[in-house]
Amino acid sequence: MKAMILAAGRGERLRPITDNIPKPLVKVRGKALIQYHVENLVAAGFTDLVINHAWHGEQIEKALGDGSRFGATIQYSAEGKALETGGGIFKALPLLGNEPFLVVNGDVFTHFPFAELVIQPSKLAHLVLVRNPPQHPKGDFALQGDVVVREGSPTYTFSGIGVYSPAMFKNCQPGAFPLAPLLFAAIERGELTGQVYDGLWEDVGTVERLERLNNTH
């Protein structure tokens, strides 16, 4: 299975740190955030990687190169102007191929065991959910068994980690668009499954959260 790291975000809430570097190159405990993803994916057997980028994207390519030093092959999907999550994945589909692929947000810090991700052949996508963090107490989704639903209790927050079938994007058009409407449509058809992860996960979205991560081990 191929894997994609979403790395095109501007990182507005991490300014001024991200004024001159892309958010995925922000360092957590001495190492670039995106490097953790590359290393963890390779350790789990994902060696064919695709990374999209926009803001200062050339710095990401310079930092990671072709991936060979990590034991991976990295291809890049350069967007110029960020296409949002849905648009970014859609643009990268020619690099991702015809089989289901893993996607992880480049701005989360986690020890999630990527090798445990699965997708049922009859489903469009499978999401990893986490307990609601303080900054997102209402959550995003609920679960009925392993099926993701919009309403229910308890609620969980989407971690930014998921497996998607290319068929999920079959009616999309090039350009910038969010992923959420595609997820909602899949939920309506009962074609979205999920699992809950209780381990280390942090959305490195603000300077405060970054500082907290760097001050705890």
Between helices 33-43 and 57-64, what is the axis angle to 10°?
50
User: pLDDT higher for 134 or 155?
Assistant: 155
- Residues 16-36: pLDDT tens digits? 666 788 888 888 888 989 999
Q: pLDDT at position 7, please? A: 93
**Among 69, 53, 71, 72, CA closest to 61:** 53
Whether the per-residue pLDDT at 123 is higher than 90: the answer is no
Domain-wise residue ranges, the chain: 3-214
Q: pLDDT at position 80, please? A: 85
**Amino acid, res. 171:** N
Across 51-80, average pLDDT = 94
- Residues 153-201: pLDDT tens digits? 999 999 999 999 999 999 899 999 999 999 999 999 999 999 999 999 9
pLDDT band, residue 78 (cuts 50/70/90) = very high
Q: Cβ distance 202 to 209 under 8 Å?
A: yes
Cβ-in-10-Å burial (0-12, 13-18, 19+) of 128 comes to: buried
Cα radius of gyration rounded to whole Å, the chain: 16
State which CATH number among 3.40.50.300, 1.20.120.450, 2.60.40.1120, 3.90.550.10 fits the domain covering 3-214: 3.90.550.10
Average confidence score pLDDT of the chain: 90
User: pLDDT higher for 121 or 76?
Assistant: 76
- Residues 103-119: pLDDT tens digits? 999 989 999 999 888 77
Its pTM stands at: 0.93
Q: pLDDT at position 134, please? A: 86
pLDDT band, residue 86 (cuts 50/70/90) = very high
pLDDT band, residue 14 (cuts 50/70/90) = low
Q: pLDDT at position 53, please? A: 95
